[in-house]
A and B are shown apart, each in its own frame.
Chain A
Amino acid sequence: MNLFKKVTGWSAFPALLLFLIFLGINGVLTGGLSVYFFHSFISTNAAAICVAIGVTATILVAGTDISLGSIVSLVNVVIVTLCERGYSVSTAALIAFGCAVVCGMINGFIIGVMRVNPLLTTFATSTAFGGIALWILPYPGGYIDYSFGDWYLGSLFGILPTPAVLILALILIWTIFIKLPFGIHLYALGKDVKKAYASGINVTFLRFFVHTFAGIAAGAAGICISASTCAGSPVVGASMSMNSIAAAVIGGVSLNGGIGSVWGGIFGACFLNILISIVVSANFGSVVQSFIQGLILLIGVVFSVIAADRELSGKMKKIFRGGAR
């Protein structure tokens, strides 16, 4: 009973439940859930999940990062360009990954050390990073050797798909960090900076770290998306920043900081993407598609915010009950 309460009271639980329900619906619609389906689901959405993990980390310390999408684009563009210059795919991927980490560290430096508001900082850096991507590759084009795609679609030990390994690696890094005393400090910082400082917590380091971690996550996302498309585009990650924040909110991560977990971001992203894939398979015209996707994000966020706010959800219940009478 206690365990049941613990599970249902978990901040990421509603998102997990939603994900499972819609997974089921999708299964019914497309005729059963197969291993193949999971494989393709994870390989198409690994990038979104990675970015959601990264952005959740920053939101937990009452920050945010809207530059991750630009970093993803940058990684993609760097890989394509380097490949075309004759670098091997793995070298190109590693260099691009390094770029992403540096981008994250730049964010971390400006936010942690220079103490600039995270939203504005990443807003500015996203323009800058996106600019670099556009500068390197002004128009979509170029291709990456298909061996990259094969590696991506393959699996580790024959069971774990490569993208899942990447996601698990991110989760592992984060979990280790959370299990260190830093974990407690991180949630404390998310609740109140001044109190955190007074308690002797290293605020600068933590902020620097979460943004660097977000950079790492964006790097992984960039590798995923490059491998799954095997092509270059300077705006491939453009919509990711916002979608990932929406995913985190749906996953029960409080935008005020200090509440939630990366699992929330992960399940939120899974839910959003399964919903979108249902919409896609429902065969609306491509014209209606983006409008519906926007509405899904809006509705998802509205509902999860209402659900998280006890006072408000009580009011809503009252209204609906009153209406029923």
Chain B
Amino acid sequence: MMERWKKWNNPYLPAVLGILALMILGQTVTSGFLSMNNISSILMTTAILTMASIGQAAVVISGDSGLDMSVGAVMSLTALFGPMIVLGSGMASLFVMIPAVLLIGGCVGLLNGLGVQVIKIVPLVMTLIMSNVVNGFAILITGGQPSVSVSKELQSISGVFVGPVRYLTAIVLILLIVLEIFFLRKSRYGRSLFLVGDNYNAARLCGINSKKIVILAYGFSGAMAGLAGLFLVGYAGTAQMNMASSYTMLSVAAVVIGGTKLTGGKGTFIGGALGAMVLILITNILQALNMAAGLRSLIQGLILIGILMTNSRAPKLRQ
């Protein structure tokens, strides 16, 4: 009995149950909810949020209350900056765009990592301030008035691949699985990341370069956010200032819902993807109900509070 319960008590369970419940709720609230079209767009936005949450998860796993609050700012930056790269053909510029956004995001992330690890600024503060700098930089390069034309090739990522699955969804799904297995679970880096996140000091004593591992985790998060920003603009078709600012909060929430421990040392990318799906479903239902933006954000906040109160309570001081 105990064993069976343990098997069920798996970190993905709340997210999976949540997805099922939300789908049923969505269908009962609005009839067209589970239509091909809607599912397809849910999967698209989930894919973008998943990209952001993969990086966020790596930072959270790296421990010491690691959080990357600059995800949204980096996404907004690359969403503005990525499409500006224009080479001979549309396809060629797409192939330059991808490494470019990875590089931009990665650099911001590395700066975060250096601030956290070398100067020892608390991650929350470091990344929050960095997001301010990045936002300021975005205004600086665009002069405050983005006039970005998104190329056809970039927009083609939202073309239909098969059924409700569009190209981007497929790409992200493959990327997710590859990163989860070959980066997080199998690679020497991924395994070191878990150990460092679990016990920084012990990992250092084992001869693992803890500092480098954590800095790279922030760099990775930045790079993933950079890519997510490019995907976002490709999907949206137009770019605006701060268009991705809500993704910071969403990525953290996705990671938490996906069962990743905020104390570090434990977690998965796939959990983050499931968490992302839960959040997108909620947003989608609220939108379908024609709710005002403010009310939507209130409900999201309340849901997050609910999750925290059931999921992330500190143990009692008296045991």
Question: Is B a genuine binding partner of A?
Answer: yes
User: Could you say which residues of chain B place their CB within 8 Å of the CB of A287?
Assistant: 139-140, 143-144
Subset of 16 A-B contacts with CB under 8 Å: A114-B313, A116-B313, A123-B304, A128-B301, A133-B294, A134-B293, A197-B318, A242-B125, A242-B132, A246-B129, A249-B121, A291-B133, A291-B137, A301-B126, A302-B119, A305-B121
Contact stretch, chosen from A91-99, A151-159, A292-300: A292-300
| Cβ contact within 8 Å between B125 and A255 | yes
Check if B181 is an interface residue, CB within 8 A of chain A: no
Check if B316 is an interface residue, CB within 8 A of chain A: yes
Check if B135 is an interface residue, CB within 8 A of chain A: yes
Q: Which of B140, B262, B315 is close to A120, meaning CB atoms less than 8 Å apart?
A: B262
- Which chain A residue lies CB-closest to B292? A135
Main DSSP-derived SS at the A contact region: helix
User: Could you say which residues of chain B place their CB within 8 Å of the CB of A120?
Assistant: 252, 256, 262, 308, 312
Q: Contacts A116-B314, A117-B262, A120-B256; is A131 near B129 (CB within 8 Å)?
A: no
User: Could you say which residues of chain B place their CB within 8 Å of the CB of A290?
Assistant: 132, 135-136, 139-140
Q: Which of B65, B134, B292, B316 is close to A119, meaning CB atoms less than 8 Å apart?
A: B65
Which of A120, A121, A287, A302 is packed against the most chain B CB atoms within 10 Å? A120
| Cβ contact within 8 Å between A127 and B129 | no
Query: How does the 8 Å CB contact mask read for A125-142 relative to B, with 1 for contact and 0 for none?
Result: 111111111111010000
Q: Contacts A134-B297, A291-B136, A292-B136; is A301 near B312 (CB within 8 Å)?
A: no
Would you list which residues of chain B between 244 and 301 have a CB under 8 Å from chain A?
Answer: 249, 252, 256, 262, 292-301
Residues of chain A having any CB pair with chain B under 8 Å: 64, 66, 110, 114-117, 119-121, 123-136, 138, 193-194, 197, 203, 234, 239, 242, 245-246, 249, 255, 286-295, 297-298, 301-302, 305-306, 309, 312
Check if B317 is an interface residue, CB within 8 A of chain A: yes
Size range of the chain B interface in the assembly: 35 or more
Q: How far is the CB of B211 from chain A (nearest CB, A)?
A: 13
| Cβ contact within 8 Å between B122 and A255 | yes
- Which chain B residue lies CB-closest to A124? B304
Q: Contacts A131-B297, A134-B294; is A312 near B120 (CB within 8 Å)?
A: yes
Could you list 15 further interchain pairs (A-B, Cβ under 8 angstroms) beyond the known A128-B297, A293-B132, A301-B126? A114-B313, A130-B301, A131-B298, A135-B295, A194-B317, A234-B294, A249-B121, A255-B122, A290-B132, A290-B136, A290-B139, A290-B140, A292-B136, A294-B134, A306-B119
User: Could you say which residues of chain A place their CB within 8 Å of the CB of B262?
Assistant: 117, 120
Which of A124, A290, A295 is packed against the most chain B CB atoms within 10 Å? A124
Would you list which residues of chain B between 100 and 124 have a CB under 8 Å from chain A?
Answer: 115, 119-122, 124
| Cβ contact within 8 Å between A132 and B140 | no
Check if B162 is an interface residue, CB within 8 A of chain A: no
- Which chain A residue lies CB-closest to B111? A298
Q: How far is the CB of B56 from chain A (nearest CB, A)?
A: 13
Which of B134, B140, B313 is packed against the most chain A CB atoms within 10 Å? B140
- Which chain A residue lies CB-closest to B65? A119
Check if B243 is an interface residue, CB within 8 A of chain A: no
Q: In the complex, A66→B313 CA distance in Å?
A: 19
What 8 pairs between A and B have smallest CB-CB spacing? A128-B301, A135-B294, A134-B294, A291-B136, A131-B298, A131-B297, A127-B301, A294-B133
Q: In the complex, A86→B298 CA distance in Å?
A: 26
Check if B302 is an interface residue, CB within 8 A of chain A: yes
Q: In the complex, A167→B68 CA distance in Å?
A: 33
- Which chain B residue lies CB-closest to A106? B305
User: Could you say which residues of chain B place their CB within 8 Å of the CB of A126?
Assistant: 301
| Cβ contact within 8 Å between A301 and B120 | no
User: Could you say which residues of chain B place their CB within 8 Å of the CB of A132?
Assistant: 294, 298
| Cβ contact within 8 Å between B129 and A128 | no
User: Could you say which residues of chain A place their CB within 8 Å of the CB of B297?
Assistant: 127-128, 130-131, 134-135
Check if B128 is an interface residue, CB within 8 A of chain A: yes
- Which chain B residue lies CB-closest to A132? B298
- Which chain B residue lies CB-closest to A203? B317
Q: In the complex, A291→B65 CA distance in Å?
A: 27
| Cβ contact within 8 Å between B304 and A127 | yes
User: Could you say which residues of chain A place their CB within 8 Å of the CB of B318?
Assistant: 197
Q: How far is the CB of A153 from chain B (nearest CB, A)?
A: 30
Q: Contacts A116-B309, A121-B308, A234-B294; is A302 near B121 (CB within 8 Å)?
A: yes
Would you list which residues of chain B between 14 and 32 have a CB under 8 Å from chain A?
Answer: none
User: Could you say which residues of chain A place their CB within 8 Å of the CB of B122?
Assistant: 255
Q: In the complex, A11→B212 CA distance in Å?
A: 32
Q: Which of B121, B125, B302, B315 is close to A128, meaning CB atoms less than 8 Å apart?
A: B302
